Amino acid sequence: MAKIRILSADVRDKIAAGEVITRPVSVVKELVENALDASARKIEIEISDGGKTKCLVNDDGSGMGREDAQLALERYATSKIGSLDDMERVRTYGFRGEALASIVQVSKFEIETSDGLVGTKIIAEGGLIKRILDSERPQGTRIKIADLFFNLPPRLKFMKSATWERRLIADLISSYAVISPDISFYLGDDGRAILNVTGVNSTLQRVKTLFPRRISDSLVEVDFQIGATHIAGVVSLPGMTEKHQLKYIYVNSRPVKYPRIYRSLIELYQDPQYPPAFAVNIMVDPKSVDANVHPTKNEVKLSDERYIVDLLCQVVRRAIYKKPMSVEYDSTEQKGSPALVTKGFVQDTILPYGEGQRFEAGRTTEEFWQLHETYILAQTKSGMIIVDQHVAHERIIYESIMRGKVQSQRLLFPITIDLTPEEYRIYEKTKHALTDMGIEFKEFSSRTIVIDSLPSDAHINREEIAGIFGELSSIGDLIKEKAEIARVVACRGAIKAGQRLSSVEMQSLIDRLFATENPYTCPHGRPIVLRWTIEELAHKFGRG
């Protein structure tokens, strides 16, 4: 007897979501969720051209008999619910019965499935079933989608590059892999593995296989239950120093976008420069969740939202602040004026300027002052200037790279970095360009690289080196341009706000800045120098 049934018109009218397939990642999402609902232990995804020409999902789940396989392609056909009352008890990812029918309408579709007794293969195109055949496949389901939107040319125009679509899919699979650590996932693009993980025992273990050690080592586990509410997952300690993609919120194990929860977590960390890393699963009674808010089901509404958000913040606060934070001070400073000890950098000082003529910029003094360890103040003949030390150094490094006059410095202690699959893909595409810019690599093992040389002028620590690949990943097709890569390297390699400089270092930085072609704006267009004349200062003080 078939498990799948067509929902009644009354139920359809109240849950219908309309179009749910908008791009390749929508297809992959629906097919992966079906596999999870079918209790699959291994899910394999293969794509081509970012999923635009092929999306294939193969699982070892419960599969379907022939009658169910045919019904599954009908709109509003589902085994998840039968009435509106069932909506209050939904624990599955899917429930509307719209996804497969929508996919069939806009693609060349092929499904091969077996419940362990009967194997069935169905071929369809543009919403029409072409053939129904016998199949010898083992239990599970394999669905292949080809030429997505072949019959909707206007929709194709809204597709972005294959790289962009692939990134969306990779992040999607990572989000499901994190919340389902006991399930094996494989994602391949034209035969090349992007993600390949086997089942593990915990979310923290899964995160360690998907994200670099510099991210996973900063995580602590949270696990708290009160009544029907259970909050579990991982969160980072304060002090994240780079961009990352580990920002997952789940409600009853469903990946969702929940702006209020996200904002509350950011505020809890006091609005840091780099957002915290987290993967938190909020498990509540299904009756208190409205999963029918958005067609793609990636937004939900909690009936006890305020209570849940407050509870989550308390749980996270307890986890990240349970150990008192300690601060080290430099013992060489005078008592009563301690100086924070900063992390060690590859270069301890800015090297003296070499090439380029010395530009006096109207200075009448060799004295410089550093404001808040971020800005350099200097007196000129006509007034004063303030220089942003970070963007000034960024301009110096950028022009050095673009002129091809970068010198490498071999590191006394090479730096080993574990890259994510996406970061490793970027590394493969940019390693030759980065080598020309003074960053020299050796490949140690799968997705592990060793940096043994850096530009001699770079002021870089381990986190900044690793962050280069994440930032390069965000610029898309611009990664082909030398200038764009140079901007990223220069920004990452420049001294940072908060870095204390000596008078000699400040003088060197100013002299080298005014020897560049454009000392007034950084490679990204931000101002480097602000000037005030004596007359302007006098006016500010009411003297003129």
- 29-85 per-position pLDDT tens digit: 999 999 999 999 999 999 999 999 999 999 999 999 998 898 888 876 555 444 444
pLDDT band at 468; cut points 50, 70, 90: confident
Domain residue limits, the chain: 5-199, 206-320, 369-532
Which CATH number, 3.40.50.720, 3.40.50.300, 3.30.230.10, 3.30.420.140, labels domain 206-320? 3.30.230.10
Tell whether the model's pLDDT for residue 296 goes beyond 60.
Answer: no
Average pLDDT of the residues of the chain? 81
Closest by CA to 84, choosing from 330, 269, 292, is 292
Residue 175 has pLDDT above 90, yes or no: yes
Instruction: Name the token pair of 315.
Output: 């749980």
Among 311, 318, 320, 317, residue whose Cα is nearest residue 228: 311
Considering the domain delimited by 5-199, tell me its CATH architecture.
Answer: 2-Layer Sandwich (3.30)
The mean pLDDT of 6-19, rounded to a whole number, is: 41
pLDDT, position 208: 93
Q: What is the pLDDT of residue 114?
A: 95
* Residue 476 Rama label (left phi>0; alpha psi -120 to 50; beta): left
Q: What pLDDT, in 10s, does the model give residues 508-524?
A: 899 889 889 888 888 87
Q: What average pLDDT score do residues 424-439 get?
A: 88
- Is a pLDDT exceeding 80 seen at residue 424? yes
Give the pLDDT score at 458. 81
Going by C-alpha positions, the residue among 302, 215, 314, 219 that lies closest to residue 258 is: 302
| Whether 422 contacts 412, CB under 8 Å | no
pLDDT in tens, 137-160: 999 999 999 999 988 887 787 788
Please report, for residues 59, 151, 346, the alpha-carbon distance to residue 139 in angstroms, rounded to integers and kept in the order given. Answer: 9, 32, 55
Q: Are 438 and 452 in contact (CB under 8 A)?
A: no
The pLDDT tens digits for 300-356 are 888 888 889 989 988 998 888 764 433 333 333 333 333 333 333 232 233 333 333
Q: Of 28-32, 160-164, 293-297, 397-401, which gets the smallest average pLDDT?
A: 293-297
- Specify which of 274-278, 409-413, 451-455 reaches the highest per-range mean pLDDT: 274-278
Cβ-in-10-Å burial (0-12, 13-18, 19+) of 256 comes to buried
**pLDDT (0 to 100) of residue 157:** 77
- Run of H or E residues at 490: helix 482-493
Asked if residue 25 has pLDDT above 90, the reply is yes
pLDDT of residue 327: 33
* Interstrand relation of 529-533 and 383-388 (parallel, antiparallel or unpaired): antiparallel
pLDDT: is 407 or 392 the higher one?
392
Give the confidence band of 411 by pLDDT, cuts at 50, 70, 90: confident
Which among 38, 27, 45 has a CA at the least distance from the CA of 104? 27
Of 18, 36, 23, 22, give the one whose Cα is nearest residue 255.
36
**CA-atom Rg of the chain in angstroms:** 28
Percentage with pLDDT > 70 across the chain: 82
Name the token pair of 127: 């919403």
* Banded pLDDT at 463 (limits 50, 70, 90): confident
Band (289; pLDDT cuts 50, 70, 90): confident
Q: Is the pLDDT of residue 295 over 70?
A: no
pLDDT for 409 beyond 60: yes
- Class at the top of the CATH hierarchy for domain 369-532: alpha beta
Q: How confident is the model at residue 420 (pLDDT cuts 50, 70, 90)?
A: confident
In 148-210, DSSP assigns E strands to 184-189, 192-197
CA atoms within 13 A on the CB side of 320: 23
- The most confident of the ranges 6-10, 110-114, 320-324, 540-544 is 110-114
Separation of alpha carbons 532 and 331, rounded Å: 38
Confidence label for 27 from pLDDT (cuts 50, 70 and 90): very high
Question: What integer pLDDT is reported at residue 148 of this predicted model?
Answer: 92
Whole-angstrom Cα distance, residue 427 to residue 434? Answer: 9
Q: Is 228 helix (H, G, I), strand (E, B) or coil?
A: coil
CA distance linking residue 27 with residue 75, whole number of Å: 16
Cβ(403)–Cβ(438) below 8 Å: no
Q: Is 406 left (phi over 0), alpha (psi -120 to 50) or beta?
A: beta
Residue 532 is predicted with a pLDDT of 86
Sequence-distant (≥ 6) Cβ neighbours of residue 358 within 8 angstroms: 511, 515
Sheet holding 448-455, edge to edge: 408-418, 448-455, 440-445
Burial 279-304 (b: 16+ CB within 10 A, else e): bbbbbbebebbebbeebbbbbbebee
